[in-house]
Structure 1
Amino acid sequence: MAIRKLLLLLKPFDVYHATQSNPASLFTNPRVVHYLNNRSKVHKEAIDLCQKILQQKSVDWQPIFRNDLSQPIRNVDLVVTVGGDGTLLQASHFMDDTVPVIGVNSDPTQAEEVEEFSNEFDANRSTGYLCAATVKNFEQVVLDSFLEGQTVPSKLSRISVSVNSKALPAYALNDILIAHPCPATLSRFSFKSSGLRVSTAAGSTAAMLSAGGFAMPILSQDLQYMVREPIASGGAISGLMHGLIKSDQSIDAAWFSKEGSIYVDGSYVFFTIQSGDTIEISSKAPVLQVVLAPHLSS
């Protein structure tokens, strides 16, 4: 594939600041500070290496930090995200189905580090489930393979949400959660619960799985839904609390609480709803072209 223009989307460095990433009780722990400084250093080295590789290949690329992104991504041939799944998810909200994306996990978790600090703090780094590359294989295994046409992007389904028949401007690559802004507050649809979660196949291994759902083949076009903490009785009702939305189906819900929010791929992107709103959820959204690791795409 001939790449004329590439957008390099970068995870910002401020996420590694101790004052923003950890409770106040950890501020004075020199091991925490060293750990965060090392994460920032590793991330910067990954960015520098990716930029050097692109320069060597004479690719016209433009770097942009994730929190500087505000307009749809257009007029580029490829997007490379350097960070983790969160960076790729953020990019996906600004992309249609015409531009492929490659995720580079800039800061992979180190098992020995997690074990060393297990009694002090959570030393997990980036999972990078949707990232096909690390700095070790970005050039030869991933980028060159893609440019030579040996690697084809996978088409991942996304979630489309309409409120009162008006489509929301962001599609979910992982999941959506419809709930009251205060998690402890009861939500009222046509049933009572603490909310409704819907995930894609790609997102079924994240919050959905933790909540008791099941992992789906990543290329499935179906969606999985689960009513969160339902207040109901009877087997007939319970059977409707968790299931699949087939690719040719949609699910409709009416919101009866005074206020609520639809969270898209986490807590940073959300849309407010109010009593009387009707919500339609389906997989009738433009797919996202993502280069996946071989064990996921095969």
Structure 2
Amino acid sequence: MARRRLLLLLKPLDTYSFHQLNGVSRSRNPKVLQYLDNRRKVHKDAIEFCTSILQRKSIDWNATFYNNLSRPVQNVDLVVTVGGDGTLLRASHFLDDSIPLLGVNSDPTQPQEVQEASNEFDATRSTGYLCAATVKNFEQILNNILEGQTTASELSRMSIHVNSMPVSTYALNDILIADPCPASASRFSFRIRKYGQTSPPLVNCRSSGLRISTATGSTAATLSAGGFPMPILSKDLQYMVREPISPEPARVRLMHGLIKRNESMDIDWYTKEGVIYIDGSNIVHPVQYGDTISVSSHGPVLKIFLPNHLLPSKI
């Protein structure tokens, strides 16, 4: 039997050095500097811990920082990310539906630390919402995966086409379509098209943009903006017109809703310029006046080992 192959994908250590500019501290609060230095140390220790575990396993493995990735990941049986949800999101953009993913939260938030620092600064660390492991249980979870005792879940990803041409990146969380300047209004129209339906109603909008989320992303920005959380394994998408400008009373209810798994949303863009932000601000795709954008949940699924609290309860 062939040895299992694993890629360890790491959050860069210099991420925690943003408090420095040209060697000069950007913060005058020594507690903030101490906090950031501690976060870097905790993350570094987590990397060293995970690598020490892998060195004891009968598997072939390699480690790299996520900013070194430039092409799809291939020829591995498992990808393990060490960081937080941001690291996991970045990894998902390089994975098809054949390689499962395990997230290790390297720097979990410490509630007591947050409480003690609440009057001075925000001491929240990594949420790790999608990360099934920490250093405390990484070896046990890895053993369960290697021994076939646990099964990866399949999360829906969003497929995006611009003028009928596919965008190469699939969104795991959400997309935001907006003017490049966040203070500018956008004009666009959209239809929710059910397959086989010929002429669905057209909704005309002037607003600060349009956000569309997967079930995974429904607990992030969409929820903060007034949306609702969806079951994480749902294949539906949730859309929300951001800050609509004077919609007709009969159209208010159309500013927020679902795109079912057998539907797609077609968007006609009527602003001079626009940007599709995919899973945050790191991946962008430009659009311009007259472009048509089509969105559906028909992207390849992401296979991922989820935390137990996110798994559907068994009756």
For normalisation by structure 1, the TM-score amounts to 0.96
Q: 3-state DSSP class of the match of 1:287?
A: strand
CA distance in 2, matches of 1:244, 1:18: 38
CA separation of 1:45/1:221 partners in 2, compared to 1, >3 Å: closer, same or farther?
same
CA separation of 1:64/1:161 partners in 2, compared to 1, >3 Å: closer, same or farther?
same
Deviations 1:43-102 (A, max 9, x none): 011001111111101321111101111110111100000000000000000110000000
Deviations 1:113-172 (A, max 9, x none): 1111111111100000000000000111x1111112121000000011100000101001
Aligned residue in 1 for 2:52: 52
Aligned residue in 1 for 2:95: 95
Conservation of the 8 A alpha-carbon contact between 1:26 and 1:32 = no
Q: Does 1:65 align with 2:65?
A: yes
CA separation of 1:251/1:294 partners in 2, compared to 1, >3 Å: closer, same or farther?
same
Aligned residue in 2 for 1:285: 299
Displacement of 1:107 in angstroms is 0.2
Aligned residues: 295
Displacement of 1:232 in angstroms is 2.9
CA separation of 1:35/1:6 partners in 2, compared to 1, >3 Å: closer, same or farther?
same
Aligned residue in 2 for 1:179: 178
CA separation of 1:226/1:2 partners in 2, compared to 1, >3 Å: closer, same or farther?
farther
Aligned residue in 2 for 1:143: 142
Aligned residue in 1 for 2:276: 262
Q: 3-state DSSP class of the match of 2:44?
A: helix
Deviations 1:186-209 (A, max 9, x none): 011021010000001111100000
Aligned residue in 2 for 1:241: 255
Structure 2 residues without counterparts, runs of 5 or longer: 190-204
Displacement of 1:297 in angstroms is 1.4
Match of 1:278, as an amino acid? T
CA separation of 1:115/1:165 partners in 2, compared to 1, >3 Å: closer, same or farther?
same
Deviations 1:266-289 (A, max 9, x none): 011111111110000000100000
Aligned residue in 2 for 1:120: 120
Match of 2:80, as an amino acid? V
Match of 2:144, as an amino acid? S
1:165-244 correspondence runs (5 A)? 165-190=164-189, 191-244=205-258
CA separation of 1:104/1:281 partners in 2, compared to 1, >3 Å: closer, same or farther?
same
CA distance in 2, matches of 1:248, 1:293: 28
Match of 2:52, as an amino acid? K
Q: Name the stretch that deviates more: 284-293 or 24-33.
A: 24-33
Displacement of 1:19 in angstroms is 2.3
Conservation of the 8 A alpha-carbon contact between 1:18 and 1:27 = no
Conservation of the 8 A alpha-carbon contact between 1:3 and 1:147 = no
CA separation of 1:87/1:5 partners in 2, compared to 1, >3 Å: closer, same or farther?
same
Larger Rg: 2
Q: Name the stretch that deviates more: 54-63 or 257-266.
A: 54-63
Q: 3-state DSSP class of the match of 1:203?
A: helix
CA distance in 1, matches of 2:20, 2:279: 21
Conservation of the 8 A alpha-carbon contact between 2:3 and 2:58 = no
Conservation of the 8 A alpha-carbon contact between 1:80 and 1:104 = yes
For normalisation by structure 2, the TM-score amounts to 0.91
Q: Name the stretch that deviates more: 86-95 or 227-236.
A: 227-236
CA distance in 2, matches of 1:220, 1:88: 20
Conservation of the 8 A alpha-carbon contact between 2:20 and 2:26 = no
CA distance in 2, matches of 1:288, 1:2: 24
Displacement of 1:17 in angstroms is 1.1
Displacement of 1:13 in angstroms is 1.1
Q: 3-state DSSP class of the match of 1:263?
A: strand
Conservation of the 8 A alpha-carbon contact between 2:172 and 2:217 = yes
Match of 2:114, as an amino acid? V
Q: Does 1:156 align with 2:170?
A: no
Q: 3-state DSSP class of the match of 1:40?
A: helix
